[in-house]
Amino acid sequence: MKFYKFAALLPFLLQGPAQKIRADDPLPEGVIAAIRNGNIPTIADVSVMNFNEEGHGKIKVHAIYKSELGTNQKKKENKSSFAKWIRGYSLEGSNKVTPLKLVVNGKTGRFLFFLDGDLLYSTYNNQFPIRKTKDGSLEVGTAFNGGGAPWKPLKEIIKLIPQKSPKEKEK
């Protein structure tokens, strides 16, 4: 009789160590680590307005914090020459594009996007939600959890953007 009780509890005893093994997997980087990547061509504060049939997102640009277009141009020129539609996400060397609608779970709203042309730049997470606080300032979700929390002031996060890309430093 005691053997049956032990056999019934055995799966539960093994489940504890198995969870600890899976917990060692590294979490994807949040915005603080990702934004320091000097290879990201463009970092922008945009609102996704709607989606077309292919799932590409029509956007409105609020601010461009880093642009491959060059820092000597005026921001208005950068905004006017900026892509109006973001197609989505594609792995480097792949022809398949995951539509933006799937990447942002079909939600419209304001995001901090890491971009390479009209595609999201390849990081673990290349978009972070932005929201207004009660006092009217902006804050950005810093974690890779879909919901955004914890939140930090956008001004603080923008200060972490490298001023020159690693390619420019070598020259």
Tell me what pLDDT residue 117 has: 86
Residue carrying structure tokens 């207004």: 132
Label residue 85 exposed, middle or buried (CB < 10 Å: 0-12, 13-18, 19+).
Answer: middle
Tell me what pLDDT residue 15 has: 60
Strand-strand pairing, 127-132 and 109-116 = antiparallel
Report the SS3 class of residue 109: strand
Tell me what pLDDT residue 35 has: 83
Tell me what pLDDT residue 132 has: 93
CA pseudo-torsion sign 54, 60, 64, 67: positive
**Separation CA 16–CA 6 (nearest Å):** 16
Label residue 2 exposed, middle or buried (CB < 10 Å: 0-12, 13-18, 19+).
Answer: exposed
| pTM score above 0.75 | no
Tens-level pLDDT at each residue, the chain (171 residues): 555 555 555 555 556 555 444 444 455 557 777 888 888 888 999 999 999 999 999 999 999 988 765 444 444 445 666 788 999 888 777 788 889 898 888 889 999 988 888 888 876 666 789 999 999 999 998 876 556 678 899 999 999 888 764 555 555
Tell me what pLDDT residue 120 has: 87
